[in-house]
């Protein structure tokens, strides 16, 4: 259904899902259900090796469900993003209802699946959905693994600055002078953006596909750089990987090799900053110029996510330039609201997620594992301490963004191996308890 919560609109749409059942035990063996997030489901499927690694051990069927409005699951085809009327059904609640309906459909149409226990698994926004799915539909899933799920990055549940201070710590720990060089780069860009010659120099030095024309463009450039440092923190994995971009092992350490001397004059400092960002955008060496509009893989649905951030996914963020390496910026809800109104003719509702999913008051729920990486900025809004015996927090000190959901790798730190073992242990327990209740 396009709209699960009203009866006036009875349109339906096609939702894409992927199934792997080669290891599934046909007499009600378990189902691991990936709660798709803001992007193409095949990409999440290929980046969630953990599920493939445990399928055989658990005799599990794998299902990867695509989130409405992403990938090929477009409720109104090419019209889906045309205006706020068509976008009106892009919410986490509608997505969870899609998942519940899909599971019911699979259980009734798949021989031997009627009583299969289902476990929700997701990372990032998908991790939030996995946790919320268990909270809202406990009769549909027996438990959830919510990896790197910032379910508390809302309202004033956590300080708005922690996210960027974690990014900064990653750089601080990865090389002397590194975070300081980045902190000093903002003023260097400001100085150069005052003249046309300076803007020209910046455009040439950073190999920008479209040259900077005004100080306003330099602001966009600074936002682009900030987003680059954040993305590096998210994908600071212990081995070569290609998640948001193809990168070397421990990419922040590699980037910091270029950023050892924060006291250099503006141009020399920024030449070094270019080397560091070029590592992120051009590790393969095949990129002719750097495009400021592309910071991550094309597999993510930027438009849809921006609409969600403009409606219910309102996550306050701020920087102070002291506890972090960024230019000071207060959280300004009104600016966001005006921008959202200009773009989509909608206004964000900052406290709705708290009303809907309970904020910090979630102790009445059960069977959810919250895993977070110590290197991941999103852990700022994550659950990092146990809430009860069955609402469990697992912290992976050497882990970046949902490292535990990635495939096993010989270079995995011990902390992530232990985390996965514990996750499997809990999942087996949930499956066993589900067996007994039948």
Active site annotation includes 436: no
pLDDT tens readout for residues 222-257: 999 999 999 999 999 999 987 777 899 999 999 999
Among candidate residues 295, 320, 292, the one with its CA nearest the CA of residue 305: 295
Q: How far apart are CA 102 and CA 107, in angstroms?
A: 9
* Residue 277 near residue 249 (C-beta atoms within 8 A): no
Q: Which of 324, 376, 404, 412 is catalytic?
A: 376
Angle between helices 215-234 and 178-192 (to 10 degrees): 160
Instruction: Say which of 73, 124, 148, 193 is annotated catalytic.
Output: 124
pLDDT value, residue 246: 81
Which class for 280: exposed (0-12), middle (13-18), buried (19 or more C-beta within 10 A)?
buried
Q: Which of 4, 364, 324, 350 is nearest to 186 (CA)?
A: 324
Q: Is 376 a catalytic residue?
A: yes
Residue 285 has pLDDT above 70, yes or no: yes
The answer to whether 365 is a known catalytic residue is no
Q: What is the pLDDT of residues 146-166, one digit of tens each?
A: 999 999 999 999 999 999 999
pLDDT of residue 199: 97
This prediction's pTM: 0.95
**Which residue from 95, 32, 107, 108 is spatially nearest to 69, judged by alpha carbons?**
95
| pLDDT at residue 420 is higher than 80 | yes
pLDDT at residue number 298: 64
Mean pLDDT, the chain, whole residue set:
95
Tell me, what's the pLDDT at 299? Answer: 59
State pLDDT tens for residues 177-195.
999 999 999 999 999 999 9
Per residue in 48-84, pLDDT (tens digit) is: 999 999 999 999 999 999 999 999 999 999 999 999 9
List the catalytic residue out of 401, 402, 404, 412: 401
Query: To the nearest whole percent, how much of the chain has pLDDT over 70?
Result: 98
pLDDT of residue 242: 78
What's the pLDDT tens digit per position in 74-90? 999 999 999 999 999 99
Cβ atoms of residues 181 and 269 within 8 Å: yes
> Which of the four pLDDT bands, split at 50, 70 and 90, describes residue 294?
confident
199-205, long-range: CB < 8 A, 24+ apart: 201/267, 202/270, 205/267, 205/270, 205/271, 205/274
DSSP 148-209: T--TT-STTSS-TTHHHHHHHHHHHTTSTTHHHHHHHHHHHHHHHTTSHHHHHHHHHHTTBS
pLDDT at 300: 62
Q: 358-412 pLDDT, tens per residue?
A: 999 999 999 999 999 999 999 999 999 999 999 999 999 999 999 999 999 999 9
Contact 191, 240 (CB under 8 A): no
At residue 282, the pLDDT reads 87
> Sign of the CA dihedral 370, 371, 373, 374?
positive
298 burial via Cβ count (<10 Å: 0-12, 13-18, 19+): exposed
pLDDT at 93: 98
Spatial CA neighbour of 32 closest among 142, 150, 149, 112: 142
């Amino acid at each position: 259904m396009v709209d699960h919560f009203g009866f006036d609109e009875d349109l339906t749409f096609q939702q894409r899902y992927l199934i792997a059942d080669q290891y599934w035990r046909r007499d009600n063996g378990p189902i691991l259900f990936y709660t798709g997030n803001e992007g193409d489901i095949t990409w999440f499927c290929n980046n969630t090796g953990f599920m493939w690694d445990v399928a055989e051990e658990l005799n599990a069927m794998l299902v990867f469900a695509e989130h409405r409005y992403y990938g090929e699951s477009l409720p109104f085809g090419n019209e889906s993003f045309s205006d706020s009327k068509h976008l009106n059904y892009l919410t986490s609640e509608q997505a969870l209802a899609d998942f519940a309906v899909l599971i019911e459909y699979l259980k009734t149409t798949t021989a031997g699946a009627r009583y299969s226990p289902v476990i929700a698994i997701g990372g990032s926004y998908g991790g939030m959905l996995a946790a919320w799915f268990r909270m809202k539909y406990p009769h549909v899933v027996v438990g959830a693994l919510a990896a790197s799920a910032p379910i508390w990055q809302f309202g004033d549940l956590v300080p708005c600055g922690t996210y960027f201070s974690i990014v900064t710590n990653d750089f601080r720990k990865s090389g002397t002078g590194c975070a300081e060089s980045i902190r000093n780069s903002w003023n260097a860009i400001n100085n150069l953006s005052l003249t046309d010659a300076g803007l020209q120099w910046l455009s040439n030095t950073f190999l920008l596909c479209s040259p900077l024309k005004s100080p306003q463009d330099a602001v966009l450039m600074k936002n682009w750089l900030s987003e680059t440092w954040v993305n590096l923190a998210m994908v600071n994995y212990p081995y070569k990987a290609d998640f948001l971009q193809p990168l070397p092992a421990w990419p922040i350490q590699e980037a910091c090799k270029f950023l050892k001397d924060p006291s250099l004059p503006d141009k020399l400092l920024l030449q070094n900053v270019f080397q560091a960002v070029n590592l992120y955008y051009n590790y393969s060496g095949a990129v002719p110029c750097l495009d400021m509009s592309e910071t991550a893989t094309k597999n993510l649905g930027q438009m849809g996510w921006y609409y969600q951030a403009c409606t219910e996914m309102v996550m306050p963020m701020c920087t102070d330039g002291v506890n972090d390496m960024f230019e000071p910026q207060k959280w300004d809800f009104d600016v966001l609201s005006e921008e959202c109104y200009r773009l989509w003719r909608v206004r964000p509702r900052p406290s709705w997620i708290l009303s809907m999913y309970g904020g910090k008051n979630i102790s009445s729920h059960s069977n959810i594992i919250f895993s977070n990486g110590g290197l991941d900025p999103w852990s700022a809004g994550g659950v990092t301490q146990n809430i009860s015996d069955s609402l469990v927090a697992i912290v992976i000190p050497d882990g970046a963004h949902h490292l535990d959901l990635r495939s096993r790798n010989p270079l995995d730190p011990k902390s992530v191996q232990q985390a996965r073992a514990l996750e499997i242990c809990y999942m087996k327990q949930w499956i066993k308890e589900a067996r007994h209740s039948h």
